[in-house]
Amino acid sequence: MLVWWRAVKSLELLAEVRTYVFDYDGTLAPMNVDRSASYIPQPLREVLEELAKVRKVVIATTKDCSFILPRTPFAHAWVCSNGFEIRVKGSSYVLVPTNLFEKQQNFVEEVVEPAKKLCNELGIFLEIKRVGNLVAGICIDWRGRYPSMPEEVRKFVDVIEGRYPVIRYVERPFVDIYIDRVDKGIALDQLLRLGLIEKPIAYFGDSENDVPGYQRADVRIFVVHEDNEGLDLGIENLIRVKREELANVLRKVLSTS
């Protein structure tokens, strides 16, 4: 269930938070731009930089670390590739069971190589999510090229889905395929066990892959934009905030902390 932003009560909740966790695509950065041009709007980036001076800030994303770190240098930690890799300033923690290296050859042959060929034929982008020497997953990204998932991609994903975890998104210009099932919630559990973050936690997300993060959070913020207004994640006590209001909300939190 979604509830509309209620300023006083929600500011009180957020003022008590010790760790702020943000998804990237859609939550902090618009998706209606080419992947290479992805960015956080300057007013929001500035307030995130201020927030990171007084609270722990974590970025949790399906993107790999090489993509997300240069775009969010203010953060204290990053959950990359949907949870396969955790980076903390100066350190790296990899959540990879050793048997995945045994599965990698099959994953490359069955998923990565056919996806390369498909994306080349369609003129769309293929992100290969690497964690050290492991190919942890791929993202097939057709933003700016097709208005919806190309039929060729849909058929490919339908075949793969029974063998490997697939994350499809409502009204998103990409699909993720992983070598095994790991999620943002498992990664946040690891950060808590290592003492690298602390509760209370606020989680800011906007899509299906944020559900495990919401489940670990004390305060749950659903960031609304043109691509997810009708999305129901089945999560209780979601506070609904429009993306264009997010910078002002965080600025008010800073003024009351």
Token pair in block for residue 68: 């997300």
Domain count along the chain: 2
- Domain of 28, in residue numbers: 2-95+182-256
pLDDT higher than threshold 80 for residue 93: no
- Both 7 and 73 in a single domain? yes
Do 219 and 168 belong together in one domain? no
Distance CA 140, CA 135 (A): 14
Q: What is the pLDDT of residues 207-250, one digit of tens each?
A: 999 999 999 999 999 999 988 888 889 998 889 999 999 999 99
* pLDDT tens for each residue of 13-40: 888 999 999 999 999 998 877 777 889 9
CATH number of the structural domain spanning residue 18: 3.40.50.1000
Same domain, 35 and 145: no
153 and 252 together in one domain: no
Cα distances (angstroms) measured from residue 238 to each of 25, 121, 221: 19, 41, 6
pTM for the structure as a whole = 0.85
Within this chain, do residues 39 and 159 fall inside the same structural domain, yes or no? Answer: no
Looking at the structure, tell me whether residues 78 and 192 fall in a common domain.
yes
19 and 136 share one domain: no
51 alpha carbon, distance to own chain's centre: 19
